Amino acid sequence: MIKCTFSVSNWQEDTVKPIADGTLKKASVTYAYSGDITGESEAEFLLLYLPDGSASFTAVEHIRGMYQGEPVTLVLNHHGMHTANVAEGQCSVTYATGALRDFRGTGKYAADAATVEMTLRAPL
């Protein structure tokens, strides 16, 4: 199990196009990581904003950092929903290097503040 905390360092969002009653947007996001993994990441999001203010999202995130004193790289795929000021998401590790090279786990998080805790678990 890997426990880490991430916070948004930068969020740049642009409209792609209106879709029916919603709006498709893309966001380029930079995160800072602490905990079991320390470092930074970049993520590319696609978000569908709906008339009720909620948004569905999917993203690919590239993390570069340290784990147990060794350099690591992770690529996570994310998906989830943002409703009532809370972004609830799930992610899966699709690529990893260094001490985590064989790690293929999943995680969940609920982001209702500037700093978010995430736990990645390997499959049983």
For residues 71 and 62, what is the distance between their CA atoms, to the nearest angstrom?
14
Per-residue pLDDT at 123 exceeds 80: no
Structural domains of the chain, with CATH? 2-121 (2.40.350.10)
pTM, entire model: 0.91
Mean pLDDT across the stretch 93-121? 87
Nearest CA to 3 out of 108, 112, 124, 114 is that of 108
Mean pLDDT of the chain: 92
Average pLDDT in the 6-30 region? 94
Residue 1: is it exposed, middle or buried by C-beta count within 10 angstroms (0-12/13-18/19+)? exposed
